[in-house]
Amino acid sequence: MYYIGMMDSSYIFVIIGIIITLLASAHIKNTYARYDKVSSRRGITGAECARRILDANGLRHIQIRRISGSLTDNFDPRNNIISLSDATYASSSIAALGVAAHECGHAVQHQAGYVPIKIRNGIVPFVNICSHASLPLIFIGLILGWANLAMLGIVLYCAVFAFQLVTIPTETNASARALKTLESMAILDEDEIKGAKKVLTAAAMTYFASAASTALQILRLLMLVSGGSRNRR
């Protein structure tokens, strides 16, 4: 049996991961709140911005709908719908336009056959299976002292980390496309682009933080398994 209590020294990796995630979350919330108070000069709403970008890229078939919440914006390629949150849909702030353009960036990625997003979408079913199976295997392996079972769980859990890694270029590329489009279509002026870039950069940092947190968790689990194996010799 392995010791995995609160006083386990490897728990420091969990704490560090939580801190990194919380800092990234606080940064995006604060950055978004700052630029959500700054209205764009042209007064275009998030929904209008998204519609212009989609139409300009020949994506008139993609619908735009309003959903509740803040920073809950997303693009669903299965039904070709961009969902913009309450904070984005009817807002003309720099932050709202940056987020709306970012979601359009994902739609353009699908149209262009962008490889990372094709890989990410392709591995989703596999990652879901690994995610659900990994934790029970790890837990049972650690409790019963079955190192091989715990290691199998860790290997499966690495699929989650791989998914997070491939998500990073997908998100950063969507943001790069968004900023370029906002400038080329004159939706935002140069100084406003800088504000939108700060919002999208802060959002990207949450994906880096999630990946770092998962990597630290994997490292902790490997230490527990290797340490437990040595204790049993």
pLDDT of residue 207: 96
Interval 126-152 mean pLDDT: 93
Residue-level pLDDT at 6: 43
- Does 174 have pLDDT greater than 90? yes
- The pLDDT assigned to 202 comes to 97
Q: Decide: helix, strand or coil at residue 76.
A: strand
Summarised one tens digit per residue, pLDDT across range 175-218 is: 999 999 999 999 999 999 999 999 999 999 999 999 999 999 99
Catalytic residue list contains 48: no
Check residues 114 and 6 and name the one with the higher pLDDT.
114
| 123: nearest Cα among 161, 178, 163, 88 | 163
The model's pLDDT over 43-101, given as tens digits with 9 standing for 90+, comes to 999 999 999 999 999 999 999 999 998 889 999 999 999 999 999 999 999 999 999 99
Q: Which of 103, 171, 183, 192 is the catalytic position?
A: 103
pLDDT at 1 over 70: no
Residue 7 pLDDT greater than 70, yes or no: no
| Average pLDDT value over all residues in the chain | 92
pLDDT at 232: 54
Residue 131 pLDDT: 93
Query: pTM higher than 0.95, yes or no?
Result: no
pLDDT band at 230 (very low <50, low <70, confident <90, very high): low
Distance CA 207, CA 213 (A): 10
H-state helical runs in 37-146: 46-56, 86-89, 94-112, 115-144
pLDDT at residue 231 greater than cutoff 60: no
Q: What tens digit of pLDDT does each residue of 210-229 get?
A: 999 999 999 999 988 886 55
Question: pLDDT value at position 224?
Answer: 87
Which residues are 63's β-sheet partners?
A: 81
| pLDDT tens digits along 119-136 | 998 999 999 999 999 999
Q: How confident is the model at residue 11 (pLDDT cuts 50, 70, 90)?
A: confident
Cα separation values, 24 from 10, 19, 102, 162, 208, Å: 22, 9, 18, 20, 9
What does each C-alpha distance from 57 to 19, 63, 165 come to in angstroms? 40, 14, 28
Backbone torsion region of residue 58, taken as left when φ is above 0, otherwise alpha when ψ lies between -120 and 50, otherwise beta = left
